[in-house]
Structure 1
């Protein structure tokens, strides 16, 4: 995807003053215990999400990017309490989701939904499309049978599917059509917040743009707030208002789209951006110099001391193996977790 197309659009989105936050995440953690031996004694834990904080303005999209194993999906699921958080708070429209009882959570779920990565596994193959989309409507007592049919027809129109498809089974649909059914189900109750868990990664390239266009059109019409999870940083350039770069359970950089793409301030962000495929000379000049990451993302059970990225970082120095760096504020809406932005280490190698 081009780095220079729609530059004015990026500036407009990035410069736009953030609206009142619809979603506020503070110190969110999800740790999974490790048990060993016949007696299954606790031998440690995997810190899949380890103290993450950010906010999303109403009607905006926060893009969350990182390699597989960075904790992106776990964080999205923890925010919706599809997996129970270990600690932290998640406020959606002012309501702390973590504090809700099971009955309260069931009622509140109409305000928060998810679109899964794999549309095939997320749809019951035995059910018709009508039954799949109608399920949340029935659960939350939406109208009578006639009103529900009318709503299903509206939703199929919304995701560009013929109304007669409501009588088909998922096995009769393509991957893109299945994902559109998943989107229709997620927005059936006009939720305020939707987690998009890599909604295009399982689809052909030719279908991805159409899915993104549908999601953006729905957001514009209904003002839904999105968390867009992906491993493809280039995709977020034309989708997100702000971006969070995640590595081993922690955010290492957060900023508006313009800032992160033009001046990435963490070595990991620069490496991800430098790997984006480009065609034109202008695109090549717009991205950082190629920085190849050595090795794989470490086992989360054995994180490196200090900065978790130091074992793969081309700029690592002695301080990186000590304490983990804090987030350093680098402008109006950009911060990075890197000692290269600490005044104490200005003599260390620059970018």
Structure 2
């Protein structure tokens, strides 16, 4: 057995997602467990190099987690031949230029989504990375959630028969920032900074739909800004110029219809912050972040509509919980491990920049649909 160490430059680790999910719970967790075993029985270990704009914050993170190297000069890090992989979790507006520089420097590139501000830019990056012969990937973390892994198990086992529809509910109330601090950064609510729930969440919904149920053929959507005034991290009021809620209908290639509501202005009355109900000819299931409940056709009750009588059937009690049957790791970490195996194995990452471009394409089409009131067909984007 041989051991290879990959030096990973992580840009944006002072941000919430970059630090918590990618550095702490993924790269450092992989380092501390002794690396990742490949299909051939070899082992890949990792050594992080931190990149950011705030030297005092970088130094503190490096000290806290025993990281020997950090820099505020990304070009210097990219010029280092010992660095193998570049990861980007900066704000979207800064991402394309940085990724282009990394590809041109010959680095394998893994990125938060969206990989760029437009689908055209993402396609340019994908073709550039293909031409450079580097491995490229975009975060598809929700596919690795326990609830969706259980849902995938049901799909693979033919539980649903023919899938008829998918209904998704996502969101929670993000405080405005005046009397309680907001749970999301203020740039999320400024379109000029790349904010907006469509550009954020439609990329997620695209890969969930594409990988579980089939390609998205068209979208009809309505995006809106329910809360027009918010307060930033310094307590200063600002006008929200980006959409904070979106309501979409997605037509899939096999005829199934998906409806997904996304909102940062909704109060939660469901078991989890995101839930998907899948209805098929043979059965139905409701999947969240961790749990998944099902009801087979043989166990489906026969409700009768009668508004003059109180409901006597315990509908929620008539569903069964799907067992874990496995231990589920952090979803971000699981995809990191998959990407690192692809880097050392010289294989193409399944969730690549082309997949990222399709997600951005759906977001762009959703915004066009909202502005025009029309159904927008999607052109095919393939490798």
Fold match (TM-score > 0.5) = no
TM range (shorter): 0.3 to 0.5
The normalised TM-score by structure 2 is 0.31
